[in-house]
Structure 1
C-alpha cells in the first residue's frame, strides 16, 4: 500500500499476514523511521534485499532472475475521479482522475505468466 489506511487490507487476511499493528503503532514507527533518515533507508533496503534473495532462492529455477534477465512490465489505467478543485486540469481524455502504474516482474522472453 501507499497509505497508512492500507494496513486495514492486511487485517482482512490474518491467516496470510498474521497480526497487524494498530494505526497509532504504525504512525509512531513511520515517525521514527522518518527521523532516522539515511540509516533507516539503508536498513529497509538491506531487509528487502535479504527477503528477495531468500524468496528467489526458494523459487529455484522459477525465480524471476533465472537466466540473468528480469523483465519488468509496467501497466497503467486511468482511474476516473471528479474534481471541483481550483485550477484542476483535465487529463488527455478530458476527464479528471489519476493514472497509477503497476509493475509486474517476470523472467525470460515470453515470461511464465506469473
Structure 2
C-alpha cells in the first residue's frame, strides 16, 4: 500500500476510536442517544446519514473552482453527515459545476 492509502486508514481508525468513546457517552445523556424524530415518529435504533451537496463560493481563482449552476464561482462538495449527532463523516471536494445528484460522484465517493 502507498503512503496515501496508509494515511487514509490511519484517519479512519482515529475517527472510529473517537466514535467508540463518544457514542456510548451519548447514551448516558438525560435524553439518551440522539435518536431522530421525523413526522412525529421517533427513529430509535436508526443512524441516519444525510448526503448533501452545498455550494461554497470562492472570491478568487483557486484550484478546482468552476462556475456553478447558480452562476456563482466556487465549489460544490459532496458531504455525508450523521443526522443524529450532526457530525461530518466525510466530504469530497468537487468543482462548482459538479451536479448535486450525479450518480457517478456518489459511486466515486463510496469507493474513496
Instruction: Give the TM-score of the pair, scaled to structure 1.
Output: 0.41
Structure with bigger helix share is 1
User: Rg bigger for which structure?
Assistant: 1
Please report the TM-score for the alignment, with normalisation by the length of structure 2: 0.41
The structure whose residues are more often strand, as a share, is 2
